[in-house]
Amino acid sequence: MIRTLWRWVARRHAVCVALGKPDALPPPGYRQPVVLVCGDGQPALFGASPDVPSVTDQACYVPVPRVKNLPAVVADLRTLRPGWAGQLSVLLVVNPGEHQDTASLAGRLRAFGHQLALARRGGQALPVTVAGYVPAAHCAAPWFCWEAGQPSPWVLEGASRTDLVAWQRQVTDTTARTARLHAAVQLECAARWLHERVLVHVDARVATCAVMLVAATPQHHPGNLWQQWLHQRTGLVQATTGHAAGPSHWPFPDPVVQQLPVSVRRVPPAVMVALWLFTGGSLLAMGHTAWQSRWLAAPAMVQAQPQPIAPTAHPLRLDSLSLFASGSAQLKPQATQVLVSALLDIRAGQGGLIVVSGHTDATGHPDSNQRLSVARAEAVRDWMQTMGRMPAHCFAVQGFGASQPIASNDTESGRAANRRVDIRLVPEGEACGAFTQEPGQQPVPPVAAHS
């Protein structure tokens, strides 16, 4: 009897150590998502009581300040609240502004993946959401969320959910549109950073990635990984605001968590197999139908591809020296600022065909100049298609080499003027409509440089 009582006391003490404040948990009948929060930003999320669960209108958030305690917290929750098994998920917060060493961050992420694997050994699914509160000059209140395999984010504001292009078009004021376009540029960089610096080290099934752009972050170090990444990829410099007097409060990702599946009972294995077979058959049928539709539409799309297009007045002219190094078709990091301005002008149009034309000076071999002019036009086209989320059929690319000079090639200033990329918006009926992205379109990577 004494031994049994001692074991009960020891078990209760262990639960208190792992969960911090188990008495603050909702009652056993609670049926909203229960999220175990690991990683960065715990003081900004949980405030002055970093060991106390926080309950919002949409979810219960349980702090896990030390990732090594994750398996114990999961085991204790299953003991204290056995009916919550289908409601549990994990939120890994990774804030690039709080890290200065890539190797150290990678080690912490691998440690998280190992502890998550241990926590799942009991058959617990534990879907994972990776979220980042990213410092940005132009802050945006909503959450930007990518589900597994989704190329473009959803914008989540409260209960509403819209795509990124529609969100950018919701405002008509020039200042607001510029701010949202800058937010989209930083959002694209944040998504790539998460993919290349975080997800590769997390050996886990990640259901969702989410980003919120914030004004400042606690422990925001000068020269952090985010500042380095943003400058290397875009040429933008993130201003350092210094340390705040106290940690600002960050909102919990309620709209993101609500996208996760919540189960309050187990489905029999036979039913699961039947559901998987039915879903697989439906997907195959839909895929076959979509393939047939695209195949039948292919001749019309081919006919719509532009032939050599007559020049139109007043092209948007970009200086090649501000975009490319000499003899290269690889965009400079500093080119982003020029391209953002150009993209704003293009998106202000009412639809039509976007014709991107590359030009060089007369220096060098004509064949090399021709290839270089095409490659540079393609690089600008690919950037605009990716950042503007516009379908491929909105664009036509031309390369003229040195055949269409606008100044004399006998002087340095004339040769500099001839090295350019011209962008024209040509009315083509419904060629591009309202610049919306095709369903399922993947971003196009930059074209390799030609010399």
In CATH, what number is assigned to the domain containing residue 405? 3.30.1330.60
Counting Cβ atoms within 10 Å, is residue 23 exposed (0-12), middle (13-18) or buried (19+)?
exposed
In a domain, 257, yes or no: yes
173 in the same domain as 51: yes
Please indicate, yes or no, whether residues 320 and 264 belong to a single structural domain of this protein. no
Q: How many Cα atoms occupy the beta-carbon half-sphere of 130 within 13 Å? A: 26
Considering the domain architecture, whether residues 169 and 20 belong to the same structural domain is answered as yes
The whole-angstrom separation of Cα 60 and Cα 33 is 6
Q: Are 222 and 344 in the same domain?
A: no
Residue 281 is assigned to a structural domain of this protein: no
Domain that holds residue 375: 312-426
Same domain, 239 and 377: no
Domain stop point among 254, 269, 284: 269
Instruction: Tell whether 317 and 263 lie within a shared domain.
Output: no
The residue assigned the tokens 């390799």 is 448
In a domain, 451, yes or no: no
301 assigned to some structural domain: no
Count of domains observed in the chain: 2
In a domain, 263, yes or no: yes
Contact 21, 65 (CB under 8 A): no
In a domain, 274, yes or no: no
Residues 64 and 70: beta-carbon distance below 8 Å:
yes
Specify whether 239 is located in the same domain as 325. Answer: no
Q: Quick one: 70 and 209 in the same domain?
A: yes
3-state secondary structure (DSSP) of residue 166? helix
On whether both 259 and 332 belong to a single domain, the answer is: no
Domain boundary among 202, 237, 269: 269
| Residue 294 located in a structural domain | no
Q: Which residue type sits at 233?
A: R
User: Do 176 and 45 fall into the same domain?
Assistant: yes
Tell me the residue ranges of DSSP E strands in 40-102. 54-55, 60-63, 88-93
First to last CA, the chain: 84
Burial 282-315 (b: 16+ CB within 10 A, else e): eeeeeeeeeeeeeeeeeeeeeeeeeeeeeeeeeb
Question: Per-residue confidence of the chain (451 residues) as pLDDT tens digits?
Answer: 455 544 544 444 444 456 767 888 999 999 999 999 999 988 888 887 778 999 999 999 999 999 999 999 999 998 899 899 889 999 999 988 888 888 888 899 999 999 999 998 877 888 999 999 887 766 667 899 987 667 778 899 877 888 888 888 888 888 888 888 878 877 887 888 888 888 888 766 677 899 988 876 556 667 788 777 777 765 555 544 444 444 467 889 999 988 776 665 444 454 444 444 554 555 555 555 444 444 444 443 333 333 444 444 468 889 888 899 988 999 987 788 788 878 777 766 556 788 899 999 999 999 999 999 999 999 999 888 887 777 888 888 999 999 999 999 999 999 999 999 998 887 755 556 554 444 344 333 333 333 3
Q: What is the CA radius of gyration of the chain?
A: 27
Task: Indicate the pTM of the whole model.
Answer: 0.58
Q: Are residues 224 and 150 in the same domain?
A: yes
Whether the CB-CB separation of 399 and 377 falls below 8 Å is answered with: yes
Burial 397-436 (b: 16+ CB within 10 A, else e): bbbbbbeebeeeeeeeeebebbbbbbbbbbebeebbeebb
Whether 448 is in a domain gets the answer no
Q: For residue 377, how many other CB atoms are within 10 A of its CB? A: 26
User: 317 with 415, same domain?
Assistant: yes
Give the Cα separation of 132 and 148 in Å (integer): 16
Q: Write out the two tokens for 5.
A: 């009582």
